[in-house]
Amino acid sequence: MSLVDNIIENGDTESLIRKYLHSGAIINGQRHKTLVGTPQGGNLSPLLSNVMLNELDKELEKRGLRFVRYADNCVITVGSEASAKRVMYSVSRFIEKRLGLKVNMTKTKITRPRELKYLGFGFWKSSDGWKSHPHQDSVRRFKLKLKKLTQRKWSIDLTRRIEQLNLSIRGWINYFSLGNMKSIVTSIDERLRTRLRVII
C-alpha cells in the first residue's frame, strides 16, 4: 500500500482500496480472508496494476527503452537477443525487488516481432515498417464463435440470431480495426454468407 499512498493522495480513496483488499473472498460458499493480492476480475485489479506498474513505466523511460504496456501486459523492444536477455533479467529483478510483485516467467519470454502475440494482435513487416493484424489464434476463435452462432440445430429465432451475429461481428471488427484485416474479413464474410444460406 505504500506506493498507493504515495500516488493517491486522498484519504477516502485509500481507505476504500484498503477495505476492498481486506474484504475477503468467497470460495465454495465460505468466506476466506485475503492476505495478499487483489480479487481477479474485479474493478480494483486493473487500477492497482496501473498504479504499481506506473513505476515500471518511469524506470523503462529512464533507461531509454522502447516499450508499450496495457495493464500488466508489457512489450519491450530491443535490437538483439543478447540485449533482450539482459533487459529481461534486469527488468524482472526491478519488478520483484523494487515493486514487490511476482513475475510470471511462463508468460515472460524473448521473441521475434513476427512471433509476437499482443492483446490478440500479430505483427508483420511491410515495405514501410511493422504492421499489426488479428493474430491467427484470434481469427480461429472468432471463426469458432461464428460457427456456433450459425449452427442449424440452435433453436433460436432468426431475428435474434442475426442480432447476436451483428453484436459479435461489430465488436470483433471494432477491436481489431487498428490492424490490417481486409483479407481476413473478406474470407470470414464469404464463409459466413455460405453458412447463413444454409440456415435461412
Contact 126, 117 (CB under 8 A): no
Contact 56, 74 (CB under 8 A): yes
Q: What pTM value is reported for the model?
A: 0.75
**pLDDT confidence of residue 5:** 61
Cα(168)–Cα(142) distance, integer angstroms: 9
Element containing residue 42 per DSSP (H, E): none
Per-residue pLDDT tens for 27-85?
788 877 766 656 566 667 777 778 889 999 999 999 999 999 998 899 999 999 999 99
| DSSP secondary structure letters along 75-91 | EEE-SSHHHHHHHHHHH
Per-residue pLDDT tens for 89-101?
999 999 999 988 8
The overall average pLDDT reported for the chain is: 86
Per-residue pLDDT tens for 144-166?
999 999 988 878 888 898 999 99
Residue that has been written with the C-alpha cell 474484504 in this structure? 23
pLDDT at 172 exceeding the cut of 80: yes
